[in-house]
Chain A
Amino acid sequence: MQPAIRLGPEKQRQVLVCRGTGCESQKANHIFFNLQKEVDKAGLADSVEVKFTGCHGFCQQGPTIMVMPAGAFYCNVTPDDVAEIVETDLQKGKPVERLLFLDPRTGDRVLDYRDMRYFTPQRRIVLRNCGFINPEDIDDYLAAEGYEGIGKALRMTPQEVIDELKRSGLRGRGGAGFPTGMKWEFCNRSIADQKYIVCNADEGDPGAFMDRAVLEGDPHSVLEGMMTAGYAIGATKAYVYVRAEYPMAYERTLIAIRQAKDRGFLGDNIFGSNFSFDITVKLGAGAFVCGEETALMASIEGKRGMPNPRPPFPAVKGLFGKPTNINNVETLANVPVIMTKGSDWFASVGTEKSKGTKVFALAGKISYSGLVEVPMGTPLREIIDDIGGGIPNKRKFKAAQTGGPSGGCIPAAHFDVPMDYENLTQLGAIMGSGGLIVTDEHTCMVDMAKFFLTFTQKESCGKCVPCRLGTKKMLEILESVTKGKATIEDLDQLVELAEDVKISSLCGLGQTAPNPALSTVRYFRDEYEAHILNRECPARVCIDLMKFEVNEQKCKKCGACFSVCPTRAITWKKKEVARIDRDKCIACRSCYQVCRYHSID
């Protein structure tokens, strides 16, 4: 991760307070206001700038604070820690040791975030400004070469801009990975009196929060990407479609648009050119299917968000029947950098067919959840073990789930796979929007597939039969597997049905909904068989298959289960094997989780 320090001439130091959703929900706002107050009180206001920023990425130990240029990175900060930070670090120039990141691998506190193993393998292009600039201040973005990309683009012809994008090799970050330059070219070729640009900020699957973080941390880069796209295809109007669950991203995008308008970056005759461009923000209303582009457009038009068959493609007939270009947030945030630094520079990062970087939202059974950006082709092992700090509680890696409800899993056997579009597709997983959920041996893969299918089944809009009924039937089969009521024939039927739904559904939601089931059957068939043939859930997640009996051979008579049981269903005396009274047991699994000897079945 490259430092991106931009100090005003008079300020010697900056304190950067992360106020992304994760940190903000843990009182980062109090920390920010306390800091401002304390810095004033200490008479440091002339030399120290206190600034709030978007996501630093290290969400696991939030709220986080960075002191620049020294690079001190304070974790798990509370509002009460502020006085000490001001006194020790800002006044005496010594880091507050106890709040620095403690690397469990070395046992040392890390003085500079640039030496943290969470950050060193990262390469930040999309998140270049996230965590360093104030997302609500256009001047901060301008100081970071903001709006220089569009300035350069306006001195080129639209075709030259498209060619530059094509040479860069940038592909859509929303999931399918379609080359962005080609998409722009299609829309450029369509002839119409009005064309539209749409930024899809409703694409994130559950567990993927990078699009939100970009809009919260660096909204102007997305606006600039949209302007460049608008110039390239000849569109003058644009929409940002933000999902309802992201109120902060919505607010900050609105602020950014207002500021850009005030400065004349949006509006008529931008930078004295013939190019005019206007952006409107639309707030989604809570329908997952609206991440699909034709459904999204229906929603903007004020209709039920249901998809339409393609062709005609949006590039020919899209929003309000006019040619429309739809790109994802992360894709658009790449565009300004490609314009300023050139396509050769961008194409030098990544693999042969997947250029640039990818932002992953790392979560689940991992030591450090958060937002990471790595070059395409980085091995999964490096992302999980080096950056993510591995699996906690000395447990074993089982699989990584990518692409959420549209994706699949990568099992331990493929732990070294370089993460790019081609490799993931080959493994039956997809890049998706970049959610990366890590599971360990305590995660049941049947339950995982059931979870995703419950979601897609609920979110299926009901327009086409394969998705509406197929997902329901598949879910019923998975439910019977987790209850121990399925037969081995059901498993074959599940796979057959999944293949049918995949090829016959109308839109991306249905076409990808079977992936989690197909992928888990492919790699974890033994787990399905254990549920069906042995009536056993190896991960002990499926409650209907648990016996709640103490294995007398394995029990070490420690009494841990006895003390956690909320209903006193367990009887135990010192040096005696514990017993569970099934009449009192409510199957809460507390005893199972606390038992270190796996002696509860």
Chain B
Amino acid sequence: MKDELQEVFSRHHGSRDALIPVLQDIQGKLGYLPPFAMEAAAKFCRMSPVEVYGVATFYAQFKFNPVGRNTIMICQGTACHVMGGVRVLQEVMDLLGVRPGETTPDGRFTLETVACIGACALAPALFVNKETHGRMKPEKIAEILDAAGN
């Protein structure tokens, strides 16, 4: 893990305005931001760990727990809402037994919502990892979840 952090730091200047890109790159490598990584980032950007934690928790993108092997992302944008996005979300929550931001106990799925992905013509939209499933209906969801990797 140390090497991975060093690799990230080698691509940036150690200053405050590099903090967010540094955290993004760390999350890209590790999948989330463990405390030791935030402390290392603090040292690198010459800030206190508390400040780093404050910045990281402000932005929705940063995660502080390991994520599941598959990420289910459900668009909750306006177009998706008008077209029934809430029902899609409800169905996924019922099937997986988790709420947005949580991971199933077996580590297979993490459920996320997003404000708008911009695929409004495909509303309501659901994403399994990077694959898009447009014009979703609650009854199609069980099949899509089954097809996702273990």
Interface set of A (CB-CB < 8 Å, partner B): 21-22, 25-26, 59-60, 62, 204-209, 212, 244-246, 282-288, 299-306, 320, 361, 363-365, 369-370, 401, 404, 435, 437, 439, 443, 448, 451-452, 455, 459, 461, 566, 588-589
A301 touching B17 by the CB < 8 A rule? yes
Tell whether, in the assembled complex, residue A206 and residue B115 are in contact, meaning their CB atoms are under 8 Å apart.
Answer: yes
List 9 other contacts, CB 8 Å, given A21-B118, A302-B55, A451-B81. Answer: A206-B116, A208-B116, A283-B20, A300-B17, A301-B16, A363-B121, A364-B79, A369-B123, A443-B82
Asked if B78 contacts A21 (CB within 8 A), the reply is no
Q: Which of A246, A299, A369, A588 contacts B121 (CB 8 A)?
A: A369
Tally of contact residues, B, Cβ under 8 A? 40
Binds A, one of B1-9, B103-111, B131-139: B131-139
10 shortest A-B CB distances, which residue pairs? A25-B132, A59-B121, A206-B116, A207-B78, A285-B59, A209-B118, A286-B60, A363-B79, A369-B121, A363-B120
- Across the interface, do B138 and A588 meet the contact criterion of CB distance under 8 Å? yes
B62 at the interface (CB under 8 A from A): yes
| Contacts A285-B20, A302-B45, A304-B58 given; does A60 touch B78 at CB 8 Å | no
Interface residues of B in 1-29 (CB under 8 A from A): 15-21, 23-24
* B54 and A304 contact, CB distance less than 8 A: yes
Contacts of B15 in A (CB 8 A): 302
Q: Which residues of A contact B77 (CB under 8 A)?
A: 206-207
- A-B CB contact pairs (8 Å), 19 listed: A22-B122, A25-B131, A59-B122, A205-B116, A206-B76, A208-B116, A209-B116, A209-B120, A282-B20, A282-B21, A285-B24, A306-B58, A363-B82, A363-B121, A369-B120, A401-B78, A455-B76, A566-B139, A589-B87
Partner of A304, one of B55, B119, B138: B55
Bound-state Cα–Cα, A352 to B77, Å: 34
Which chain A residues border B19 with CB–CB below 8 Å? 302
Q: Which of B74-126 contact A (CB under 8 A)?
A: 76-79, 81-83, 87, 114-123
Whether B150 is near chain A, meaning CB under 8 Å from some CB there, is: no
Nearest CB of A to B123, in Å? 7
Contacts of A401 in B (CB 8 A): 78
Asked if B134 contacts A25 (CB within 8 A), the reply is yes
Complex CA gap A463/B47 in Å reads 22
A21 proximity list for chain B (CB < 8 A)? 117-119
A437 touches B118 (CB 8 A): no
Q: Are A245 and B114 in contact (CB under 8 A)?
A: yes
Closest to A454 in B: B76
Specify which chain A residues have a CB less than 8 angstroms from the CB of B21 in the assembled complex: 282-283
Q: How far is the CA of A519 from the CA of B79 in the complex (A)?
A: 19
Given the complex, which residues of B lie within 8 Å of A365, measured CB to CB?
82-83
B118, A244: Cβ atoms closer than 8 Å: no
Give the complex CA separation of A467 and B10 in angstroms: 41
Question: A206-B115, A285-B60 in contact; A302/B122 too (CB < 8 A)?
Answer: no
Q: Is the CB of A285 within 8 A of B62?
A: yes
Q: Smallest CB–CB gap between A145 and chain B, Å?
A: 28
In the bound complex, residues from chain B placing their C-beta under 8 Å from that of A288 are 115
Contacts of B20 in A (CB 8 A): 282-283, 285, 299, 302
Q: How far is the CA of A561 from the CA of B138 in the complex (A)?
A: 16
Contact yes or no, A435 B78, CB < 8 A: yes
List the B side residues contacting A452 at CB < 8 Å: 78
How far does the alpha carbon of A435 sit from the alpha carbon of B76 in the complex, in Å? Answer: 15
Nearest A residue to B116 via CB reads A206
Question: Which listed residue (B16, B24, B78, B116) contacts A364, Cβ 8 A?
Answer: B78
> Known contacts being A26-B132, A206-B78, is A59 close to B61, with CB within 8 Å?
no
Which A residue's beta carbon lies closest to that of B91?
A588
Question: Given A206-B116, A245-B115, A246-B118, does the pair A287, B78 have CB atoms closer than 8 Å?
Answer: no
Quick check: B78 and A451 within 8 Å, CB to CB? Answer: yes
For A244, the closest partner residue in chain B by CB is: B61
Closest to B132 in A: A25
Which of B58, B114, B117 has the most CB atoms of chain A within a 10 A radius of its CB? Answer: B58
Report the nearest B residue to A303, measured CB to CB.
B55
> Which residue, of A21, A285, A320, A369, has the highest number of chain B Cβ atoms within 10 A?
A285
Are B79's CB and A207's CB within 8 A? yes
Partner of B115, one of A62, A320, A363, A455: A455
Q: Is the CB of B118 within 8 A of A212?
A: yes
- Interfacial residues of chain B within 29-78, with CB under 8 A of chain A in the complex: 45, 54-55, 58-62, 76-78
Q: How far is A59 from B117 in the complex, measured between Cα atoms in Å?
A: 14
Chain B residues, CB < 8 A from A22 = 118-119, 121-122
In the complex, chain A residues whose CB is within 8 Å of the CB of B139? 566
Find out whether the CB atom of B59 lies under 8 angstroms from the CB atom of A287: yes
- The residue in chain A whose Cβ has the minimal distance to the Cβ of B118 is A209
Bound-complex Cα distance A59 to B139 (A): 24
Q: How far is the CA of A578 from the CA of B118 in the complex (A)?
A: 41
Q: How far is the CB of A559 from chain B (nearest CB, A)?
A: 18
Which chain A positions have C-beta within 8 A of B122?
Answer: 22, 25-26, 59
Closest Cβ neighbor of A439 among chain B residues: B82
Q: Which of B45, B115, B121 contacts A370 (CB 8 A)?
A: B121
Q: In the complex, A15→B34 CA distance in Å? A: 48
Given A285-B60, A300-B17, A302-B45, does the pair A204, B116 have CB atoms closer than 8 Å?
yes
- Selected from A205, A245, A285, A437, the residue in CB contact (under 8 A) with B82 is A437
Taking a contact as CB atoms under 8 Å apart, the answer to whether B59 and A245 are in contact is: no
**In the complex, which residues of chain B have a beta carbon less than 8 angstroms from the beta carbon of A370?**
121
Chain A residue with Cβ nearest B114: A245
Q: How far is the CB of A512 from chain B (nearest CB, A)?
A: 15
**A522 → chain B closest CB, angstroms:** 19
Which of A25, A320, A369, A437 has the most C-beta atoms of chain B within 10 angstroms of its own C-beta? Answer: A25
- For A26, the chain B residues whose CB sits under 8 A away are 122, 132, 134
Interchain CA distance A209-B119 in the complex, whole Å: 8
Q: CB distance A369 to B79 under 8 Å? A: yes
Min CB–CB distance B32 → chain A (angstroms) = 14
Q: How far is the CA of A306 from the CA of B82 in the complex (A)?
A: 30
A59 neighbours in B (Cβ, 8 Å): 120-122
Cβ–Cβ contact A305 & B58, under 8 A: yes
Chain B residues with CB under 8 Å of A439's CB are: 82
In the docked arrangement, what's the CA distance between A288 and B82, Å? 20
Task: For the complex, give the distance between the alpha carbons of A299 and B24 in Å.
Answer: 13
A22 vs B16: C-alpha distance in the bound complex, in angstroms? 36
Cβ-closest chain A residue relative to B73: A245
**Contact, CB under 8 Å: B62 / A404:** no
* Distance A111 CA – B23 CA, assembled complex (angstroms): 51
Alpha-carbon separation in the docked complex, A284 to B131 (Å): 22
Give bound CA distance, A302 to B13, whole Å.
13
Neighbouring B residues of A244 by C-beta, 8 Å: 61
